[in-house]
Structure 1
Amino acid sequence: MGRTVTIAAAQLNQWALDFEGNTNRIIESIRIAKERGATLRCGPELEIPGYGCQDHFLESDLYLHSLECLAKILVHPDCQDILLDIGIPMMHRNVRFNCRVICLNKQILLIRPKMFLADDGYNYRESRWFTPWNRPQHVEEYYLPRILQDIVGRVKVPIGDAVISTADTCFGAETCEELFTPQSPHIGMSLNGVEIITNSSGSHHQLRKLDTRIALIREATRKCGGIYLYTNQRGCDGDRLYYDGCAMIIMNGDVVAQASQFSLNDIEVITAICDLESVRSFRSPPSRGLQAIQAPTYQRIETPFSLSPKERIMDRDHKPTPPLEKIRLHLPEEEIALGPACWLWDYLRRCGGVAGYMLALSGGIDSCSTATIVFSMCRLVIQAIKDGNEQVASDCRRLCALEDGAELPKTAEELCGKLFHTAYMGTKAASSPETRKRAVELSKRIGAYHTDLNIDTVVKALTDMFTLATNFMPRFRSQGGSGAENLALQNIQARLRMVIIYLFAQLLPTVRGRRGGGGLLVLGSANVDECLRGYLTKYDCSSADINPIGGISKTDLKRFIKWAQTEFDMPVLEEFLNATPTAELEPLTETYVQSDEVDMGMTYDELSVFGRLRKIDKLGPFGMWELLVQTWTHLSPSQVYEKVRRFFYYYGINRHKQTVLTPSYHAEQYSPDDNRFDLRPFLYPPLNFAYQKIESALRLIERNGEQKEGKTE
């Protein structure tokens, strides 16, 4: 063992614009890091204002308040004698930058602006608010605002792409997106002898994404060697993204510490003891030396502070942290159970004056999945209370409107009974006894407060009003009506369900005698594929306050329900898995039961493929057809064309619905969500140019096929 350092990575559940709360969590994480012997602490990206402030980053007030919070951190007694890497937006020469402030004992050693901004246009638009520091190894002077001059005792500090040289090692910082770029800053820093590199992130949860992130982080030191601190925000900070934590400390390619990915803890700090001599030994190959001598030089900001003890003391209690035997990775089914559940809890506890959630429970797998995720949320809350999480206990007491001294709920079912309300809204003609039964049994199993009702009288009142006004009585197709009549009668039911569910959401807490008033937040339950194709009625009960499954495919939801059936001990879920997906808006007959997939003309699995090819692979009709002809060999080229054309037709005519979609938990790369996320027009022409090109290619395929047959004969 050589010279050891104890370092800390803090992941925090920050809330956009919650300056006071964010600052307190930062200070508490520093206190915990020091308590565990750490001499370096790194926190999430833009941790002072919160990452998701979006266009608030254009406001001068935000920069003022962030500086005020930084001043509070600098002078706080718990924030001394430890090297701090803190995320904050700063303005320099009237230009806004996403920065790291490296500070020590009331001194700002360096302001390090982000060099490569996250700008995929889907979830991140950092260049809308910030300018990248496109000047590698360039450092200049930053004039401190007066609020900091008296604390620091200086007027100017360095700003730019530099590193910190301590008495025993060298430390550098990169920020989030910089890790994912081909020529990451950590490569040049490592070649310049930087032994410890921090990366502060605001990285969101997405199904099956974490393993990719871990691979990149490990690769950062597998070739270059060194110690890498990765930290990330966690929680819902005010938008549809859930930041999924999973802070890590990696040394020479090995993960030595890993934080949880999903948790209700607002503050989580991981530490590791690392041996600097192991880094130096790892970097001994001559080929590395040849590249290092040619690498550009970083300016080093010097400080006499030492991260390691002054003397090399052999202490068996202070030995280096060994590599983890196994890195924790959740199954996609677990991710669905945990990510949206944590997001729902944050949303509920941070939304003032509400009493819980309300869901239209149809008896189908989508609303079943939403209800099961809420039950998962209640399981997490109960477990956190048992683990002694005082913040969760306090939030739970407030949300349940418990009187002082009253006992907190002891089971997830008991908590569901207080916070979760469901309603089955059927009609005598279209709703089956099976769906009604499933809704009742599921709500009973999870303990939700359930209401069972028919809406026939309300539907009849509307149709009678229309008939009175127009002297025309609309009929379903099965009754001899036209397609327009059939659709209108379905939409009446769908939209009435939205109105009724909001009525119940506002008044059920009063009906139940809840203290202090407050209504319920309405949950949507349209999956990502229905949203993508527009297989929903505009302003129906898919219109809600938030939607926990709006970014999850039907395929993944089925896997989740099958998993939850065993993991949550819910045998009733088997019935949902075996049921045919149906909107139950048309009358049932002996020969006809409405089916989603028949109505859509494509399966949910096919919809997922279309969604990924359109959004992730960025393919239009012709490109999509070309690729699917090669992969969907169970269909003829012309059958593939019909499916592709049908998808784009319905995507185009229903695109306007996506401008008003309920804000959804983001879980898939092809999530349409609303037009803030999916930046495409909502008025489409017929895509005849692409279709003609496909038809021309089809004719060529057919001629080639005929020629081959002729040669065979």
Structure 2
Amino acid sequence: MGRKVTVATCSLNQWALDFEGNLERILKSIEIARANGAKYRLGPELEICGYGCADHFYESDTLLHSFQALRKLLESPITQDIICDVGMPIMHHNVRYNCRVLFLNKKILLIRPKMLMANHGNYRELRWFSPWNQLRQVEEYFLPRMIQEVTGQDTVPFGDCVLSTKDTCIGTEICAELWSPRSPHISMGLDGVEIFTNSSASHHELRKADQRVNLIKSATTKSGGIYLYANQRGCDGDRVYYDGCALVAINGDIVAQGAQFSLNDVEVITATLDLEDVRNYRGELCQPHMSRAGLLAVGLPEEKWTGGFSVASERRCRQLLHCLHCPLYVCAALPGCRGRHQVLEDVHRVVGDDSYRPQHPRELCSRIFTTCYMGSENSSEATCSRAKDLANQIGSTHMNINIDMAVKGILSIFSVVTGKWPQFRTNGGSHRENLAMQNVQARVRMVLAYLFAQLSLWARGKPGGLLVLGSANVDESLTGYFTKYDCSSADINPIGGISKTDLKSFLLYCVEQFQLTALRGILAAPPTAELEPLTDGQVSQTDEADMGMTYSELSVIGRLRKISKCGPFSMFCKLIHMWKDALSPTEVAQKVKHFFRMYSVNRHKMTTITPSYHAVSYSPDDNRFDLRPFLYNTRWTWQFRCIDNQVSQMEANNPKQ
């Protein structure tokens, strides 16, 4: 006789926030599972939005777009007549959970929140999610209207339970729960659950896949049962690689297993198994320990399902000068403050002279602070003069270095190898040539900065070396408006966490308090990288033109992105009201889209950003504060379409007179 069941599990190459692509891959896996006769399909953890959303999980957009994708899944004919088990974030009673949603024929059967979180090593789940700690308790979850319209349901079960049918019972584990000494499968097995599922986002480490297999084999060796394991595959936007290896096990044996390093975006593993094998295995081994006490089960309505197997179970003067007076005056003022004896000892150690006593800030500055103006044929005389005037006022040891020889030397090497010499755009070059010509200047400055930091004191017959200070501000970092490994690369960046607006205010303060009048010229000059040719001796390139938005606009966008937890769509919805007197909805949409394209294209630069003092709450520093992916699908297809639809709706409701 026997009771045969066909089940499917999969590995998917999901991307963080790639709702369009993620949906396509989920649907493809369900289609394959159905074609192979499966009545149940299991997918990876948080597969709808992608596991690696990190701080994007704070955004209401991530929740909204996940439900939009879920609606499309519910409506799709591909998902009919098969139980679909998908992962997404859900907020219940204002608490955010990592959940599984199980549905069949446009009805949600159960939402099962994760109970044991991964919060060590590469994982930070407790930063974004709360664990469901109400064991064997279920509450009613009120569905969003967009889902109610499809399912006809107002509420569905939410919590720790299993799904029971006429033929069998399924219980859910989510990733780290398998690794816990209190794994749910232990009690579920003793309660009679026959099929265990695990939706995972388990990254690759050497020998880790073998550990996973052994854990799954052990789970079903002890108490019998069928175990389905699904996993993420690929990068998903951060530093780890998810290695797939979806598998099916029964009674301690692996009966089907997917590839570990496949290049396929979708891989589905199916197996047909006999439930009687589970029951026979348990008969002698587990019978004395098994109990049905306290088990909560949600049943699958018989009229909703027909067929052989019926089961259910459910986010960088810009040359160093205008930004370095702060550490200088901190150091200079210290000998007069409390603890001056300790400070004096520090000064002796820094200058290498135990008899030295500074008499004036400018004197001390000349001993410990070196400034370099690294100009080129593209630099203006005005900027050079401002740098020299400021250096004179603060007392730094100042050098004027021309980098043209170094730049031409590097370009000569390129020309010898390729036979080509790139040109600036103004000289007929392409966009790629123009960008490369700017970047080579910026990176040469970094190399020279470190060379002079190491050897300039040696050249003057003095001991020691110098630290290199960086000069990228927080607003530039938001859009990646600096060259990777250029003068943004340094040992420490005094202004890395400060906005352009606050920097201007601080410079005005220095003018008034420290009489650094040279700063007035710097404040009056438009910010510019001075990496493109001059026009009639004047600067034609400005930062704001290059970035496509003003620093003031960037500050607003930065705060909305981080502090207000806005994704593209919700940011647009806020800005059409904040900027309604200055910009049309279409213009706001263009600004938002441009920002997010630039942000996502250049986010990888944050992985190498110079350490800086944390000064604003919208810093994009991903090393400790702004934990988000550094690899994105930069088209933002789903999110931008939502913005376009909103613009169209507004235009239709408010036609031009």
TM-score by length of 1: 0.47
Higher-RCO chain (CA-CA 8 Å, sequence separation at least 6): 2
Counting only pairs closer than 5 Å after superposition, residues 511-590 of structure 1 correspond to structure 2 as 511-514=459-462, 517-590=463-536
Question: Could you say what secondary structure the match of 2:387 adopts?
Answer: helix
1:696 aligns with 2:645: yes
Q: Are 1:561 and 1:573, in contact at CA under 8 Å, matched by a contact in 2?
A: yes
Taking a change above 3 Å as real, the CA distance of residues 671 and 388 of structure 1, as seen in their structure-2 partners, is closer
Q: Name the aligned partner's letter for residue 425 of structure 2.
A: R
Q: Is the 8 A contact 1:663 1:674 kept in 2?
A: no
Deviations 1:376-411 (A, max 9, x none): 213322322xx56211111111111114xx231111
Q: Quote the residue 2:573 is aligned against.
A: 626
Report the Cα distance in structure 2 between the residues aligned to 1:580 and 1:383, rounded to whole angstroms. Answer: 37
Q: Residue 681 in 1 paired to residue 632 in 2?
A: no
Q: Share of identical aligned residues, percent?
A: 51
Deviation at 1:368, TM superposition (A): 3.9
- In 2: Cα distance, 1:558 partner to 1:367 partner: 15
Superposed CA deviations along residues 502-553 of structure 1, whole A, max 9, x for unmatched, are 0000001112222xx3211111010001111100000001000011110000
Amino acid aligned to 1:528 = V
User: What whole-Å deviation, never above 9, does each CA across 1:77-112 have from its counterpart, x for those lacking one?
Assistant: xxxxxxxxxxxxxxxxxxxxxxxxxxxxxxxxxxxx
Instruction: Confirm or deny: 8 A CA contact 2:415 2:421 kept in the other structure.
Output: yes
Q: Does the 8 Å contact 1:662/1:673 carry over to 2?
A: no
* Corresponding position of 2:336: 383
Counterpart for residue 371 of structure 1: 324
Say if 1:459 and 1:493, in contact at 8 Å, map to a contact too: yes
**Equivalent residues of 1:368, 1:576 under 8 A apart:** no
* Alpha-carbon contact 2:622-2:628 (below 8 Å) kept: no
Residue 509 of structure 1 corresponds to which residue in structure 2? 457
Q: Which runs of 4+ in 1 moved over 6 A?
A: 125-128
Aligned counterparts of 1:492 and 1:459: Cα–Cα separation in 2: 7
Residue 595 (str. 1) matches residue 542 (str. 2)? yes
Aligned-partner Cα distance in 1 for 2:398–2:651: 58
1:27-426 → structure 2 map (5 Å cutoff): 363-364=317-318, 367-384=320-337, 389-403=340-354, 406-426=355-375
The residue identity in structure 1 corresponding to 2:512 is: T
* Residue number in structure 1 paired with 2:391: 443
Q: Measure the CA separation in 1 of the matches of 2:322 and 2:388.
A: 15
Per-residue Cα deviation, 1:169-196 (whole angstroms, up to 9, x for no partner)? xxxxxxxxxxxxxxxxxxxxxxxxxxxx
- The separation in 2 between residues aligned to 1:675 and 1:456, in whole angstroms, is 35
Q: Letter of the aligned partner of 2:574 in structure 1?
A: L
1:660 aligns with 2:587: no
Partners of 1:388 and 1:466 lie apart in 2 by 55
Whether the 8 Å CA contact 1:660–1:674 is kept in 2: the answer is: no
Which letter maps to 2:336?
Q
Residues in 2 aligned to 1:611 and 1:399: alpha-carbon distance in whole angstroms: 38
Distance 1:435 1:518 in 2: 30
Q: In structure 2, what residue type is equivalent to 1:367?
A: L
Query: Which of 583, 589, 594 is 1:635 aligned to?
Result: 583
Q: Deviations over 1:271-319 (max 9, x none)?
A: xxxxxxxxxxxxxxxxxxxxxxxxxxxxxxxxxxxxxxxxxxxxxxxxx
Structure 1 residue aligned with 2:556 = 609
Question: Secondary structure at 2:468's aligned position in 1?
Answer: strand
Does the aligned pair in 2 maintain the 1:369–1:557 contact within 8 Å?
A: no
Indicate whether 1:491 and 2:445 are aligned: no
What's the CA shift string for 1:474-529, capped at 9, x where partnerless? 00000000000000010000001000000000001112222xx3211111010001
| In structure 1, distance between residues paired with 2:351 and 2:465 | 12
Partner of 2:595: 647
Tell me the distance in 1 between the aligned counterparts of 2:366 and 2:513. 21
Distance 2:406 2:428 in 1: 23
Matched-pair contact (CA < 8 Å) for 1:382–1:410: no
Determine the C-alpha separation between the residues in 2 that align with 1:380 and 1:127.
Answer: 43
Closer/same/farther in 2, CA of residues 520 and 472 from structure 1, 3 Å limit: same
Equivalenced residue count is 349
RMSD, aligned α-carbons: 2.5
Checking the alignment, whether the CA contact within 8 Å between 2:324 and 2:494 is kept in structure 1 is no
In the alignment, residue 515 of structure 2 is paired with which amino acid?
Answer: D
Question: Which amino acid letter does the alignment assign opposite residue 682 of structure 1?
Answer: F
Q: Does the 8 Å CA contact 1:524/1:542 hold for their aligned counterparts?
A: yes
| Aligned equivalents of 2:482, 2:602: Cα separation in 1 | 9
| TM-score, length of structure 2 as denominator length | 0.51
Shift of 1:375: 2.5
Contact conserved, 1:416 with 1:446, CA < 8 A, in 2? yes
Letter in 2 for 1:674: D
